[in-house]
Amino acid sequence: SMENTGEQVVCLMAYHLLFGMFVWSYWKTIFTLPMNPSKEFHLSYAEKELLEREPRGEAHQEVLRRAAKDLPIYTRTMSGAIRYCDRCQLIKPDRCHHCSVCDKCILKMDHHCPWVNNCVGFSNYKFFLLFLAYSLLYCLFIAATDLQYFIKFWTNGLPDTQAKFHIMFLFFAAAMFSVSLSSLFGYHCWLVSKNKSTLEAFRSPVFRHGTDKNGFSLGFSKNMRQVFGDEKKYWLLPIFSSLGDGCSFPTCLVNQDPEQPSTPAGLSSTAKNSENHQFPAKPLRESQSHLLTDSQSWTESSTNLGKCKAGMSNPALTMENET
Beta-carbon contacts of 170 under 8 Å, excluding residues fewer than 6 positions away, are: 142, 146
139 catalytic per annotation: no
- Catalytic: which of 113, 119, 139, 189? 113
Average pLDDT over residues 239-260: 75
Kindly state the DSSP code that residue 230 receives in the 8-state scheme. S
What span, in angstroms and rounded, lies between the C-alpha atoms of 151 and 17?
26
| The pLDDT value given to residue 136 | 98
pLDDT band at 166 (very low <50, low <70, confident <90, very high): confident
| The pLDDT value given to residue 276 | 38
Determine the 3-state secondary structure of 6 from DSSP. helix
What span, in angstroms and rounded, lies between the C-alpha atoms of 139 and 18?
9
Beta-carbon contacts of 203 under 8 Å, excluding residues fewer than 6 positions away, are: none
Q: Is residue 36 pLDDT above 90, yes or no?
A: yes
Average pLDDT over residues 247-255: 78
Average pLDDT over residues 133-149: 94
Q: Domain residues of the chain, as ranges?
A: 5-35+120-234, 39-119
Q: Is residue 300 pLDDT above 90, yes or no?
A: no
Contact 206, 189 (CB under 8 A): no
Average pLDDT over residues 111-130: 96
Average confidence score pLDDT of the chain: 81
Q: Is residue 137 pLDDT above 80, yes or no?
A: yes
Average pLDDT over residues 134-143: 96
Higher pLDDT, 16 or 55: 16
| The pLDDT value given to residue 222 | 95
**Mind listing the pLDDT tens digit for each residue in 38-89?**
999 999 888 888 888 876 778 888 889 899 988 999 999 998 899 999 999 9
Instruction: For residue 24, give the nearest of 126, 174, 139 by alpha carbon.
Output: 126
